[in-house]
Structures are given as structure tokens and as C-alpha cells.
């Protein structure tokens, strides 16, 4: 997700380090990275097997069929093709909260996971819709942004939907019921407030919003965004701060192990974690929720990973491991 737009502001000066028991310890030196790796393994995050097939398994026939095709596509795309967030106005297409067909058994049987693919490929064609203001609990912000893209035009929206579909396949194999906020099945949207509402209405056990950053070249790595404690207006994140942090730490640990990608060198003080109080998608959530920025689409080294289908499969696997670990307790 680009830090240009309503929910995505320019990086602020480094925050105080997050020193939780499951902090991802990575510094520039190789020994530090090794220590971080060992710390995550020592805390016992899930090492569930989640080898994922790219075959769609739910009832959304046409959307799922295209998902399977996109899952192995490493090609580039013009800045209009991808997926993402958009408005809460009139919808075009099927429901944004398409439900998967849950597997008959598995460790996540009975659990509901909402996956939120950031942005929407059609957002750029609907500027008046995505620029309209919505209430994020503490104040008003634009509905959404178009997201970012690589210099070659591979969009964040396409990336997020591909990773999300891969993640859905893995989670369904673990027995979870998976719902999407959008599945490339609407012209734009939903807005950030509607995205939060989808997770709330689903009674989700966990919600993960998938993104990629649009920071400066040289800024590398992933980070997981956690909700800060907000109690203002219609926003009250106090009940979800602790479980969301646990979810975020586990997702960060799983992502690090599966992808080998280091935590961000420009946000989170090397922890891979960042707490924010200005994101409507978090402020309005009443269930555990985190965002993950999988890498920087403006850095050539990160782009090599983000545009690789094999790497995106690892990203989905790592995120799923964190979710499984969190839900199994």
C-alpha cells in the first residue's frame, strides 16, 4: 500500500521500539538476522504444513477460475490491472464478502478468517468514488486510494489479490471458512469503513489485510501494522489491541521464516511491527485485525521478489502459518 492517500500517510519518524516477547529481531548485520530467526523459532510459532495448490475450491466459480490463472502469473500489468480497496457506494458485481466452502476437517474447522486484498484494479477509474470522505471513527478520510505499483506497472492491487487467493487455498485446506472483502468481482471498492464492517459482521476470528508498500528505493523489507489503542468517536480498539498484536507477531514470524525476507529497514525499528492509530480499517474493527506490507514495490530488490509467483506462494504460506498459530493458541 502506498503511503500516499487516506489511510496511507508518509512514514513518520521512528517510533519507540516494540519489545514484545515475539518481536522480530533483525538488524543490518547478518548475526542480528540470525538471532531474530532463532528467536521466532524458539517461541514455537506454528510449523503447520500448508503446501498450497493453486486450484480454487469455493463456490465463486468465475472469480475463482480467474484466481487460479492469476496465481501462477508473473507477468507485468498496466496500472489498472490488479485488485484493491474502493468505495462503499453502489456495487457492481457479486458480494464483496464471498465465502469459501470450508473443508470438512482440519485444525481451523469452525474458524472464520477474513482476507482483505488491498485496493482494487478499478479504483483509478472511479476517482470521485474513492476520494469521497468516509467516517473512520476518529475523523473523516477518503474512501481509499488506487494503491501503488512497480516502475514497470505491476500493481499492488494485482499483487494483493494473487497473494490473497493463494492464502485462501491454504487456509481452506486447514479447515477454515475464508471470506474476502473483494475478489476482483466489483468495479471498485469497498471503502475502508466497509472493509472493517465485513470482518465485524462475519464475526471473524482473524482478519489480515494484504498490501505492498510504495516507499523510496532503498527502503526494503516487510512490516506488520497493528492497531493502537483508540477510544474516540465511534472507534474503540481497546478490546482488540492485545489479540491483534498476538496475531501480528505470529504473522510476522511466519512470514520471515517462509520468505526469508527481512523486516523493514525503514519502519518499526527493525522489529517488523508498526503500531498505528490513523487507519480506518483498524480503528473500526471489532475483531483481531492486522495489515501486512509484504515489501516495497519501489525498490528493485524487493520487486524481484514481489513479482515472482514462487515468492508470492511463500508469502501466502508464511501468513497462513501465523494465522494458524494464532487461532490454535
Residues 168-193 have pLDDT tens digits of: 999 999 999 999 999 999 999 999 99
**pTM of the full structure:** 0.74
Name the phi and psi angles at 99, rounded to 5. Answer: -100, 140
For the residues 303-319, what does the mean pLDDT come to? 98
DSSP 243-307: HHHHHHHHHHHHHHHHH-PPBPSSSSTTSSEEEES--HHHHT-SS-EEEEEEEETTSHHHHHHHT
Residues 259-298 have pLDDT tens digits of: 999 999 999 999 999 999 999 999 999 999 999 999 999 9
91: DSSP letter = -
Instruction: Domain 30-70+77-328: state its class.
Output: alpha beta
| Helices 156-173 + 309-328 axis angle, to 10 | 50
DSSP 119-173: S-TTGGG-HHHHHSEEE-SSSEEES-----B-TT--BHHHHHHHHHHHHHHHHHH
Q: Of 26-35, 156-165, 243-252, where does mean pLDDT reach its minimum?
A: 26-35
For the residues 119-132, what does the mean pLDDT come to? 95
Which residue is catalytic, options 91, 172, 293, 321? Answer: 293
pLDDT at position 329 is 87
Name the band, by pLDDT with cuts 50, 70 and 90, for residue 1: low
Neighbouring-strand partners of residue 292: 210, 224
Q: Has residue 23 got a pLDDT over 80?
A: no
Residues 133-167 have pLDDT tens digits of: 999 999 999 999 999 999 999 999 999 999 999 99
Name the band, by pLDDT with cuts 50, 70 and 90, for residue 81: very low
Catalytic residue status for 293: yes
pLDDT at position 180 is 98
Residues 192-235 have pLDDT tens digits of: 999 999 999 999 999 999 999 999 999 999 999 999 999 999 99
Q: Which residue has the higher pLDDT, 229 or 24?
A: 229
Q: Which residue has the higher pLDDT, 141 or 68?
A: 141
Domain extents in the chain:
30-70+77-328
Amino acid at each position: 500500500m502506498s503511503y500516499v492517500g487516506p489511510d496511507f500517510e508518509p512514514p513518520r519518524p521512528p517510533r519507540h521500539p516494540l519489545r514484545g516477547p515475539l518481536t522480530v529481531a533483525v538488524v543490518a548485520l547478518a548475526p542480528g538476522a540470525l538471532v531474530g530467526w532463532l528467536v521466532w523459532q524458539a517461541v514455537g510459532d506454528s510449523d503447520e504444513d500448508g503446501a498450497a495448490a493453486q486450484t480454487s475450491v469455493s463456490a465463486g466459480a468465475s472469480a475463482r477460475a480467474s484466481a487460479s490463472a492469476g496465481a501462477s502469473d508473473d507477468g507485468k500489468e498496466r496500472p489498472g490491472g490488479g485488485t484493491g480497496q474502493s468505495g462503499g457506494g453502489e456495487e457492481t458485481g457479486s458480494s464483496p464478502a464471498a465465502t469459501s466452502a470450508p473443508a470438512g476437517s482440519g485444525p481451523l474447522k469452525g474458524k472464520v478468517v477474513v482476507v482483505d486484498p488491498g485496493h482494487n484494479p478499478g479504483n483509478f477509474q472511479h476517482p470521485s468514488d474513492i476520494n469521497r470522505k468516509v467516517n473512520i471513527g476518529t475523523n473523516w478520510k477518503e474512501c481509499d486510494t488506487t494503491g501503488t505499483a512497480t516502475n514497470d506497472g505491476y500493481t499492488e492491487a494485482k499483487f494483493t489479490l494473487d497473494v490473497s487467493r493463494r492464502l485462501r487455498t491454504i487456509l481452506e485446506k486447514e479447515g477454515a471458512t475464508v471470506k474476502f472483502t473483494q475478489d476482483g468481482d466489483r468495479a471498485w471498492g469497498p471503502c475502508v469503513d466497509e472493509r472493517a464492517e465485513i470482518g465485524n459482521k462475519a464475526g471473524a476470528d482473524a482478519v489480515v489485510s494484504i498490501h505492498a508498500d510504495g516507499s523510496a528505493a532503498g527502503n526494503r523489507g516487510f512490516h506488520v501494522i497493528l492497531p493502537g489503542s483508540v477510544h474516540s468517536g465511534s472507534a474503540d480498539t481497546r478490546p482488540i489491541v492485545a489479540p491483534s498484536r498476538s496475531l501480528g507477531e505470529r504473522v510476522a514470524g511466519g512470514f520471515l521464516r517462509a520468505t526469508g525476507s527481512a523486516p523493514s529497514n525503514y519502519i518499526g525499528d527493525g522489529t517488523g511491527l508498526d503500531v498505528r492509530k490513523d487507519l480506518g480499517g483498524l480503528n473500526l474493527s471489532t475483531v483481531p485485525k492486522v495489515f501486512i506490507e509484504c515489501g516495497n514495490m519501489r525498490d528493485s530488490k524487493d520487486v524481484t521478489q514481489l513479482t515472482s509467483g514462487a515468492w508470492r506462494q511463500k508469502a501466502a504460506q508464511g501468513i497462513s502459518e501465523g494465522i494458524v498459530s494464532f487461532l490454535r493458541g
